[in-house]
Amino acid sequence: MNKKLSVIILASVLLVFVVSLTTSSATDIPAFNKKILDYAISMKGKKVDRGECWDLAAVPLKKYGAKWDGQLKFGKKIARGKDTKHFTNKDEEILPGDIIQFTSVTIEWKKGNSWGSKMLGFPDHTAIVYKVKSRKKITLLHQNVDGKRYVVEEDINLDEITKGSYQVYRPVKK
- The CATH number assigned to the domain holding 140 equals 3.90.1720
Residue type at position 112: G
- Give the DSSP H/E element, type plus range, for residue 8: helix 3-27
Indicate the number of domains in the chain. Answer: 1
Residue 10 confidence (pLDDT): 57
Does an H or E element contain 15, and which?
helix 3-27
Compute the residue count for the chain: 174
The verdict on residue 23 lying in a domain is: no
Q: Give CA–CA dist 36/52, Å, rounded.
A: 17
Q: Of residues 19 and 62, which shows the higher confidence score?
A: 62
pLDDT at 52 over 60: yes
In a domain, 165, yes or no: yes
Q: Is residue 108 part of a domain?
A: yes
CA distance 170 to 41: 17
What does the pLDDT look like over 143-171, one tens digit per residue?
Answer: 999 999 999 999 999 989 999 999 999 99
Q: For the CA atoms of the chain, what is the radius of gyration?
A: 19
**In-domain check, residue 54:** yes
- Please check whether residue 120 is in contact with residue 71, taking contact to mean a CB–CB distance below 8 angstroms: no
Q: What percent of the chain has pLDDT over 70?
A: 79
> Cβ(105)–Cβ(161) under 8 Å?
yes
Q: Specify whether the CB–CB gap between 109 and 160 falls below 8 A.
A: yes
Q: State residue 29's pLDDT score.
A: 92
- Is residue 85 a part of any domain in this protein? yes
Query: In angstroms, rounded to a whole number, what is the distance separating the alpha carbons of residues 119 and 104?
Result: 7
* Residue 49 forms part of a structural domain: yes
How confident is residue 111, by pLDDT bands cut at 50, 70 and 90? confident
Say which residues have a Cβ less than 8 Å from residue 169's Cβ, sequence separation at least 6: 68, 73, 74, 75, 76, 77, 78, 98, 99, 100, 101
In a domain, 3, yes or no: no
pTM higher than 0.85 for the full model? no
Q: What is the pLDDT of residue 136?
A: 85
Map residue 149 onto helix, strand or coil: coil
pLDDT class of 80 with cuts at 50, 70, 90: confident
pLDDT band at 100, cuts 50/70/90? very high
Cβ atoms of 168 and 99 within 8 Å: the answer is: yes
Look at residue 21 and tell me whether its pLDDT is greater than 50: no
**77 occurs within a structural domain:** yes
Q: Which domain holds residue 38?
A: 29-170
pLDDT, greater one: 83 or 110: 110
Amino acid 27: pLDDT? 52
